[in-house]
Structure formats: structure tokens, C-alpha cells
């Protein structure tokens, strides 16, 4: 009886694709917004790709946020590619937005990561925009309640995380709040993972300081609470991706919840990414499941991680080729104050999967 739920799922899925109801992260298509679109008039909102009507409404009423949100969509693409550069699934399919393949349309581990990263990125971008004074609607974040430590004082402009989280969640969760679309399990999964993304963002808030005092003596330090770079948040989320929990949608108490599939009856933790469907191994090309395969991918012969030729090429073997790299070399420091370098060429051996 194993095949049955899968058939059902596939049917539901085909239906969802046809009617285009699985909107979730289609807003990442904003990364393709032409720079010529000024986004300074509410009519521009309906020209944006990938938005559900609630998001178009948010665009109209918060037009000043839209440049930041477009920027966030671009950052998601960059951070995702960077975090997965050494993996078989390398996030290239995110560029198909808004028409994703099954790797991102189904409740996979990969989609769990992308939902979390997207939610983190939008709130990150808004909080940062508050700090740089780009948004009329918000100012610097609050001065922390605790003392800043000896020799330090609070100052500078903190990232306004609460505003970022509030507005970011409104925008990126809107597709999951649309009634009567998609499966309930998928919606719960997407909302949960988005919340995990925001939690990772909250956890990235750290104390940053700048030195003052005569000739860099650092007798006084001004400190504020600032967010880490998005790529660091992405690295944290990748760790959570690697240990993500498979869940099922099951009654627990009076309502159905997502609970870990394997035996134990603990609820899902707020910090863990969850997924409903297992992914293929991404070794071979299979458009149907959203696998691009690893043929012609570069691999690392000396690594023993996921980018090693053994793992990346799935045991198929690899072909060597030589590549030329140009580097700065023989650098010399001149008093005062510049450096001159020569350009050197060097050949390196590289490998691509068969």
C-alpha cells in the first residue's frame, strides 16, 4: 500500500500546478524586476511578477518597501547558491522563479531551506534598510536594556529587527495565508520553516563595536546590536538543512499537526527545519523531480566533503582538465603608501564529473 499516497500526492500536485495555487516563494521572481521599473507609483505593483493579491496590496500600501524587497529576492538567490556551491543540489533551480520544478514545489528538504532563507532575507533587508535610513517608516532599533560592558557605551544605529520581522513576515507569509489553496500540510510546513528562518535571523543579532579615542587607542568603544551578514545566516540554516526532520501531518490533540515521522511523539522543535517528502539523490538528470544531475559539475579531488569527486560524481568518475588562473604576485610595498604587484599565470588541474 505504499504507492497509494504518492499517487494521490502527484494528482494533487498536478492540480496545484495547473491552477497555479502553490504560490509560496514565487515572489523570489522579483529578483528579475527590470531596473527601469521605478516602483514609485502604486500602478507598478501589478507589473511585478510572482505576487499573490495580498502581496500586491502590501506593495500598494508600503510602496517604499518594494526596492528593499526586490533587493532581498536577489540576495536569496546569491546566498542560496553560495551556501550550496559544494552540494549536488546547488540551488540553480531557484532561478526558474516563478515556475519552479518539483524540487522546490514539493515539501522537500531543499524547499524547507529556501523558505527559511527567503523569510530571513526579507526581514534582514528591511531591518538593514531601517538602519541606513532608506525607509521613511522606521528608524534605528532600540537601545538594549543590559549594560554594554566595561569601557563600552551604546550608540550608533541598531538594526530595527522587530520592524524587519513584522513587515517581512507579512509579505513573505502572505501566500501561505491564502484560503482554499494547496494542501494544509504543505502550508504548515512552509510557515514553520519560514519561522525557523526568522528565528535564525534573531539568533544572528550580535554586538558590534567601533573604537574611539586618540589615534586608535580604543579608550572608548561605541556598540550597537547588528545583524550578521545574510550569508552567515544562510550557513546556519544549511546546518539545520543537513539535520532537518521528516514530518507527517497527523492528529495530535484536537487538531492535526506536523510531527516527526520516526516513532517518537515529540512535537517539532521551533529551531528545526522540517520536510514532508524525501528528495532524490540529485545524481542524474530528471526534470520530473527537479534534478539537474551532476554531470559536468566541478568536483574537488582532495576534499572528503560533499564536493569531493567521489560524492559529487556519485561514483561515475571524473575527467581532468587544466585551467589557467591569473593572480597578483610579487607584491611590493612602497613607502608611503601603495603596493604594486605583477600578474602571474599558473595552470591548475581541475576535475568535472562524468
Contact region with ligand NAG (CB under 6 A), list: 134-142, 144-152, 216-224, 236-244:
134-142
Q: Give least dist CB 263 to ligand NAG, A.
A: 29
Task: Choose among 199, 206, 210: nearest CA to 141.
Answer: 206
**Spatial separation of the C-alpha atoms in residues 329 and 331, rounded to whole Å:** 5
Task: Please identify, using beta-carbon distances, which residue of 35 and 216 lies nearer to ligand NAG.
Answer: 35
Contact region with ligand NAG (CB under 6 A), list: 202-210, 273-281, 296-304, 329-337:
296-304
42, 53, 139, 184: which one binds ligand NAG (CB under 6 A): 139
The answer to whether residue 23 forms part of the interface with ligand NAG (CB under 6 A) is no
The answer to whether residue 138 forms part of the interface with ligand NAG (CB under 6 A) is yes
Matching residue, cell 531557484 = 94
Per rule CB under 6 A, count of chain residues that contact ligand NAG: 22
Task: Please identify, using beta-carbon distances, which residue of 254 and 302 lies nearer to ligand NAG.
Answer: 302
**Spatial separation of the C-alpha atoms in residues 265 and 139, rounded to whole Å:** 44
Instruction: Spell out the residues 6+ positions from residue 245 whose beta carbon is closer than 8 angstroms to its own.
Output: 260, 261, 268, 269, 272, 273, 274, 275
Task: Please identify, using beta-carbon distances, which residue of 181 and 204 lies nearer to ligand NAG.
Answer: 204
Q: Residue 33, preceding bond cis, omega within 30 degrees?
A: no
Site pattern 161..190 for ligand NAG (x: CB under 6 A) = --x---------------------------
> Which three cell numbers, joined as nine digits, stand for 42?
502604486
Q: Is 336 exposed, middle or buried (0-12, 13-18, 19+ CB in 10 A)?
A: exposed
The answer to whether residue 137 forms part of the interface with ligand NAG (CB under 6 A) is yes
The answer to whether residue 267 forms part of the interface with ligand NAG (CB under 6 A) is no
According to CB under 6 A, which residues from 301 to 330 bind ligand NAG? 302-304
Beta bridge pairs of residue 329: 342
Helix (H) or strand (E) holding 72: helix 66-83
Judged by the rule CB under 6 A, the positions of this chain that interact with ligand NAG are 38, 40-41, 85, 90, 92, 137-142, 160, 163, 292-294, 297, 300, 302-304
Amino acid at each position: 500500500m505504499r504507492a497509494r499516497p504518492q499517487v494521490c500526492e502527484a494528482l494533487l500536485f498536478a492540480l496545484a500546478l495547473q491552477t497555479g495555487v502553490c504560490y509560496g516563494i514565487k515572489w523570489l521572481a522579483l529578483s528579475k524586476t527590470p531596473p527601469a521599473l521605478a516602483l514609485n507609483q502604486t500602478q507598478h505593483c501589478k507589473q511585478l511578477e510572482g505576487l499573490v493579491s495580498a502581496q500586491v496590496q502590501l506593495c500598494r500600501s508600503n510602496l517604499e518597501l518594494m526596492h528593499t524587497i526586490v533587493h532581498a529576492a536577489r540576495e536569496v538567490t546569491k546566498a542560496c547558491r553560495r551556501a550550496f556551491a559544494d552540494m549536488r543540489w546547488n540551488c540553480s533551480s531557484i532561478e526558474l522563479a516563478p515556475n519552479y520544478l518539483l524540487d522546490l514545489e514539493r515539501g522537500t528538504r531543499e524547499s524547507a531551506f529556501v523558505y527559511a532563507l527567503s523569510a530571513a532575507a526579507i526581514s534582514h533587508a528591511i531591518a538593514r534598510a531601517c538602519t541606513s535610513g532608506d525607509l521613511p517608516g522606521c528608524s534605528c532599533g532600540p537601545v538594549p536594556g543590559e549594560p554594554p560592558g566595561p569601557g563600552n557605551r551604546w550608540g550608533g544605529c541598531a538594526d530595527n529587527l522587530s520592524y524587519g520581522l513584522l513587515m517581512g513576515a507579512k509579505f513573505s507569509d502572505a501566500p501561505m495565508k491564502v484560503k482554499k489553496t494547496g494542501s494544509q500540510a504543505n502550508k504548515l510546513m512552509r510557515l514553520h520553516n519560514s519561522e525557523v528562518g526568522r528565528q535564525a535571523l534573531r539568533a544572528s543579532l550580535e554586538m558590534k563595536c567601533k573604537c574611539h579615542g586618540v589615534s586608535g587607542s580604543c579608550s572608548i568603544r561605541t556598540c550597537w546590536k547588528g545583524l550578521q551578514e545574510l550569508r552567515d545566516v544562510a550557513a546556519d540554516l544549511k546546518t539545520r538543512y543537513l539535520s532537518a526532520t521528516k514530518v507527517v501531518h497527523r492528529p495530535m490533540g484536537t487538531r492535526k499537526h506536523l510531527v516527526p515521522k520516526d516513532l517518537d511523539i515529540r512535537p517539532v522543535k521551533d529551531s528545526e527545519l522540517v520536510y514532508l517528502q524525501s528528495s532524490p539523490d540529485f545524481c542524474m538528470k530528471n526534470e520530473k523531480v527537479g534534478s539537474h544531475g551532476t554531470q559536468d559539475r566541478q568536483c574537488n579531488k582532495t576534499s572528503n566533503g560533499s564536493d569531493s569527486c567521489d560524492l559529487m560524481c556519485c561514483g561515475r568518475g571524473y575527467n581532468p582538465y587544466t585551467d589557467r588562473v591569473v593572480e597578483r604576485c610579487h607584491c611590493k610595498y612602497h613607502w608611503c603608501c601603495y603596493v604594486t604587484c605583477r600578474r602571474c599565470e599558473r595552470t591548475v588541474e581541475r576535475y568535472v564529473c562524468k
